[in-house]
Amino acid sequence: MIPKDSTVGADAERTLHRLEAFSDIVIGFCIAEMGINLLVPQHVPDVRAIVTAITGFSVSFVLISFVWWFHHRIFSTYFVLTRITLILNFTLLGSLVLMVYVQQIALHFIAMDSNPTNVVRMWMAGYGVVYSLLGAMLWIGLRTRWKALNLADLRWGVSRASLLSVGATIFFLCAAGLAGVQARSILIGGPIAVLIMRVFIPKFVDRVITGHT
């Protein structure tokens, strides 16, 4: 069993390396699975299916690449090995695999001109779960290692943890109201998201760090 407050030691270090390696394998598998399952059209006129498959792959590749980068940074600087973070990490990996599975179903339905609203909602909710779990691991690491981190790492950690939390919220909102999403909503939501990332999150980071240093 892993001690509740285990953060150092040879056994914990070995477990950490194996956990990170396993996580890399799962994330790499998810990307490979998306590539292998790219739809191969049966007829030349099926251009729409090709565009749908490539668009879905490209968007997911970028989002999963963010997951890998955040995961790497968390493990290299912030991760604390406890029962809770271990469960969070395995839940994250399982959710990522299921999200890719749901994505394949959603793209298949879209290519068939079916109504995939409910499946796409599940797809967005899957990303919300993944980003929430990633953010939770980062917040826990920040709280535990706060006094040991330098100012640059504190700023990066609080900023990215806030960004992950906002991103997860946006995914959950998309999942909840996807059927009613219109161009007007996107035009309004886009500037609000930029305002949150560029103005509110930096101010929040400054306030948090000032209050704890």
- Per-residue pLDDT of 65-111, as tens digits, reads 989 999 999 999 999 999 999 999 999 999 999 988 888 888 777 76
Q: Which residues have CB under 8 Å from 72's CB, separation 6+?
A: 20
Residue 210 has pLDDT above 80, yes or no: no
Q: How far is CA 11 from CA 2, 17, 84, 193, in A?
A: 9, 10, 17, 42
When pLDDT is averaged across residues 180-192 and rounded to a whole number, the result is 49
> What pLDDT, on the 0 to 100 scale, is given for residue 195?
57
Burial per residue of 183-201, b for 16 or more beta-carbon CB atoms within 10 angstroms, e otherwise: eeeeeeeeeeeeebeeeeb
User: Cα torsion for 168, 20, 3, 129, to the nearest 10°?
Assistant: 20
When pLDDT is averaged across residues 12-29 and rounded to a whole number, the result is 90
> What pLDDT, on the 0 to 100 scale, is given for residue 84?
94
From first CA to last CA, the distance across the chain in angstroms is 34
Residue 6 has pLDDT above 80, yes or no: no
Confidence of residue 129 (pLDDT cuts 50, 70, 90): very high
> What pLDDT, on the 0 to 100 scale, is given for residue 102?
87
Helix (H, G, I), strand (E, B) or coil at 115: coil
Q: Which residues have CB under 8 Å from 33's CB, separation 6+?
A: 100, 104
Q: Which residues have CB under 8 Å from 68's CB, separation 6+?
A: 24, 27
- Say what percent of the chain tops pLDDT 90: 24
| Both structure tokens of 86 | 């271990």
Neighbours of 46 (CB within 10 A): 14
